[in-house]
Amino acid sequence: MPTTPTPWKKSRTFGDIYGGRQSRKFADNIFQRAHSIERPNAQDQLPILIEENPSKNFFFPLSGEEVLEALRSLPKRDCEGITHVWLRRLKKSDFINRSQPLAWFACGSGVRVITLYPWPNSMELSFGQKRPSNRIVNETARYGGVIRKRGREWFSEWTVPSLRKFYLQGILFHEVGHHIDQYNRHFSAANAKGVEEFADQYALAKTATATHICNLLAK
């Protein structure tokens, strides 16, 4: 995803949205959000967890503590500097309008935050009437999801184990990849393809780690 200046309150610049896990439309969009996240203090244990109620229509496939445990399983250098993990409530209207990504990484003003959004209780994500690309079909299958068509609508269907694996590796680890890219390799904001491919490759490289974590969580 391209970077874009994001307002943080009225008098400060929060920074950049640097890569967001693709939305149900899987389109490149610029996401602008206002934030009130405070810069952490020196004594704070990082990352700081912010966990909101997902509402009755949605749930988080992983709890906040499970997300933190997953991050601890990665090399320390990969997650160093991430200040917050935000499991953020999703408005039903945003879900219906497909106006939110599944997750995103944002940075600036001493804050580096991974924001994760909840999943619908139906365990389905709609692509509308357009058949998803082969890349999306293959990625869905990689994590155990299934692409189906109901009437004119295309959608992905998930089980709890497959969704947890996708949420962990395909979403959370993908956003860690954006964090690494931003502070180490740093593709140009104009190179949206390079930005996303780097995050995808990072998540793919952590397949064994994600499988191990999911096996532990299943016990």
User: Would the pLDDT of 34 be above 60?
Assistant: no
Q: Positive or negative, the Cα torsion across 183, 112, 201, 203? A: positive
Q: Residues of the chain with pLDDT > 90: what percent? A: 54
CB 18 within 8 A of CB 106: yes
The pLDDT of residue 82 is above 90: yes
Structural domain count, the chain? 1
Range of the domain at 95: 5-218
Give Rg (Cα) of the chain. Answer: 17
Task: List C-alpha distances in Å: 184 to 81, 177, 179, 198.
Answer: 12, 10, 8, 12
Most confident of 44-58, 88-102, 172-186: 44-58
Asked if pLDDT for residue 169 goes beyond 80, the answer is: yes
Predicted model pTM: 0.83
Q: Quote the pLDDT of residue 21.
A: 57
pLDDT at 168 > cutoff 80: yes
Report the alpha-carbon distance of residue 197 to residue 139 in Å, rounded.
13
Query: Per-residue pLDDT averaged across 23-51, rounded?
Result: 65
Q: CB neighbours of 34 closer than 8 A, spacing ≥ 6?
A: 6, 7, 8, 9
Strand 5-8 relative to strand 146-150, pairing: unpaired
Q: State how far the alpha carbon of 195 is from the alpha carbons of 28, 138, 144, in Å.
A: 11, 20, 25
| CB 33 within 8 Å of CB 6 | yes
- In this predicted structure, the answer to whether residue 184 has a pLDDT above a threshold of 90 is no
H-only helix segments in 92-159 = 92-97, 134-142
